[in-house]
Chains A and B, each alone.
Chain A
C-alpha cells in the first residue's frame, strides 16, 4: 500500500471497517510511514472528540406533541391550509401552545391527584358527579388522545391496577385521568363522541373499593348485578350503568341511548 491508497482507506480504518487483508496492508504501511501514521492518529482522535464531546440530544417532548397535533389537522391535499397551522406559524404563540399540548396530548407530569374528585360513598352518585365535572372541565384530564390504544397505554403505564379502555371508533377525543380516594386509585375516561354526546367511564379495583369500604353500591344495584351482571338505570337526561369486569368495578354515564352504550361497553368487556 502506498500513501495515496492509505489516505483512501483512512476513514475506514478509523471506523474499524477494513477487511482483514486490507487492514493488514494498511497497518504495514503505517508502520513504515510516519506521515500516514500521524494522519491516521489525528483522524482517530478527531472522531473520538466529536463522539464524546457532541451530545446526542433528544427531540423535545413539546416538539413531538406539536407535530402530533399538526398531523391531526394536516391537510391531506396541499390546497388546504388549516387555521390551526396558521396559529402555529407564530413562534411566540407556539411555545405557549406547546405547553398546553403537552397537557392535552400526552402524559402530563404523571402526577396523580392527592385529593380525589370523588368522595367516599355511593359509587353511582360519585359517577354522576364526575361525569358532570369532566364534561364541564372542573375535572381536568391528565391526557387527551384520539385513539383508545393510546389511552390504554397511559393507564397501563400509570395506574396500579388494570384499567380496561373500551374502544370507540370516531371519537372527537378521549381523555383520561387517574385520581386517588384514600389509597384507592380511580380511573376516569371521558369520550367526547360529538358536540353533544359524552360517555364517561369510571373504574376502580373492586376488591379494594368494596372491602375497604371506600365506596358502596346501593342494594338495588347489587341485586341486579347478581342477577344479570349489569345494573342499568335510565334517568331524565342520562343513562347510568354499573358492572364488574375482571377485577374492576365499572360505572358509566352517558346521554347516549342505553342500547348504544351497552353495545360499546359490553363489546369491550
Chain B
C-alpha cells in the first residue's frame, strides 16, 4: 500500500506551487542544517515548557531557526552552537512573553514542611518517601507546576533537571555566573517543591493515623 492519500487536491495545488518556487539549497544552508538541526529537540523541549503549548513552541522554534540562519555568518565557528541557538531562542521568547512575566505566588513553606514531615514519618525509608510523592503526582500536575515557575527559575530548572546540562553549560547558555545558576536552581526548586507538595497533598495523600 502506498500509505499516502493523494486525493487532497488543495494540498497538491499548494505543493505544486511551492515546488515551482524552484528552491535551491546553498552550501550555507547545507552547513547550517548539518550543525543546527540536531539541536532542535532541546530547543523544542525548552520552547514547549516555556510557552506551555505545542503551537507556540512550534512558532518559537521556527522563528529561532530562521533568525539563526539569517545570522549564521555571525556565529563564531567552534563555539557552542547549542548555547548560541538557545540564546537566540531566549531573546525571541523574552520579546514575546516579557509582559507576561509575573511574581511567583507566595508559598507557605511552613505548611509544606509540615506535610513533608507527615509523609516522612509515615515512610519506612527515604526511597519510600519519594515513591509516595511520585505516586501521588501525575505528569500533568508536574508540568503545570513547572509552568507556573517564573521564567528565570524555570529556565535553569529545565536545563538542569530535564535536559541534564551541567552548571557550566547553563551559565554559558543563559549568560549568567555559575553562582547565579546555583542560587536560581535552589530557589526555583524551592518554589517548585511548594507547588508539587501542595498538589500531592490535595490529591489526598492519607497519612496513617
**B-contacting residues of A (Cβ < 8 Å)?**
7-12, 14-15, 17, 38, 41-43, 45-60, 63-64, 66-76, 78, 82-84, 87, 91, 93, 96-97, 99-100, 103-104, 108-109, 111, 113-114, 140, 144, 146-147, 170-173, 195
Contacts and interface: CB of A to CB of B under 8 A. Distances in A.
Contact of A111 (B3, B33, B120): B3
Closest 7 A/B residue pairs (Cβ)? A59-B44, A146-B25, A53-B142, A11-B185, A46-B193, A72-B23, A111-B3
A96 B142 contact: no
Contacts of B58: 60, 63
Given A68-B33, A91-B55, A15 B162 contact: no
B86 interface: no
Given A72-B29, A91-B59, 12 more contacts: A11-B182, A45-B130, A54-B142, A59-B61, A63-B58, A67-B62, A69-B18, A70-B65, A74-B70, A78-B70, A108-B4, A140-B2
B171 interface: no
B183 to A, nearest CB: 8
B14 A17 contact: no
A80 to B, nearest CB: 11
A71 B69 contact: yes
A103 B162 CA distance: 32
B139 interface: yes
A67 B3 contact: no
A9 B186 CA distance: 9
Chain A interface helix/strand/loop/mixed: helix
Contact of A114 (B1, B65, B129): B1
Q: Which of A50, A60, A78, A103 has the most CB of B within 10 A?
A: A50
Interface of B: 1-4, 6, 8, 10-11, 14-15, 18-19, 21-25, 28-30, 32-33, 37, 40-41, 43-45, 48-49, 54-55, 58-59, 61-62, 65-66, 69-70, 112-113, 116-117, 120, 126, 129-130, 133-134, 137-139, 142-143, 146, 157, 160-163, 166-167, 182-183, 185-186, 189-190, 192-193, 196-197
A173 B162 contact: no
B69 A74 contact: yes
Contact of B139 (A51, A55, A70, A82): A55
